[in-house]
Structure 1
């Protein structure tokens, strides 16, 4: 799998559905579930974190237009996966499981994620 960004890793440490903690930026310290990973831009959208205001232009279905709140994308370097066993943010690595398939694990506790 090739990445569109020059110098980007082929695989990312975050996947859709992971619980992550924001480690820097305006939303520092907040946790949430990853809704979407934008691999080409190295960003992720996290549920109820980094909320932005989006102005919607008027159209036939919505003649008034509107203002809505939605999640903004956060760079993946500012996110850490939360270990499901301990509940703390931890670095991840990859090692073979019993069947020989590479699987992510927490470097802090050694448990598979």
Structure 2
């Protein structure tokens, strides 16, 4: 997947369009990511053994990878991601400045 945990992404669509935030979790099986502070929903939970206190809990839900764009750490612009091979290893590269994005 072209987006990894810890990357800064820009939201392309939805009510939070234009926001920039950090990726907290990547779900490769369904091509979704969880972005910090984006797509927050409220869950009504009952008190139980693990969750002693019940009530309304805010939770970040996954969004599709196609709805976000990686922000290049070097040029600070939203960009498409490509791949290049350097010294036998596959690295991501910025589509605008062509710099290698190191993990």
Do both share a fold (TM > 0.5)? Answer: yes
Post-superposition offset of 1:87: 1.1
- Paired residue for 1:36? 25
Q: For residue 107 of structure 1, what is the aligned residue in structure 2?
A: 95
| Match of residue 61, structure 2, among 57, 72, 78 | 72
Q: Could you say what the CA RMSD is over the residues aligned between the two structures, in angstroms?
A: 1.3
* Structure 2: runs of 5+ lacking an equivalent: none
Count of paired positions = 100
1:88 Cα offset (Å): 1.1
Find the counterpart in structure 2 of residue 16 from structure 1.
5
Residues 36-72 of structure 1, C-alpha deviations (whole Å, 9 max, x = no match): 011111110001111111111222452x511111211
User: Structure 1: which 4+ aligned runs deviate by more than 2 Å?
Assistant: none
* Structure with higher strand content: 2
Q: 1:20 Cα deviation (Å)?
A: 0.6
Instruction: Tell me if structure 2 keeps the 8 A contact 1:31–1:49.
Output: no
Instruction: Kindly indicate whether residue 21 of structure 2 is the aligned counterpart of residue 51 of structure 1.
Output: no
SS at match of 2:78: coil
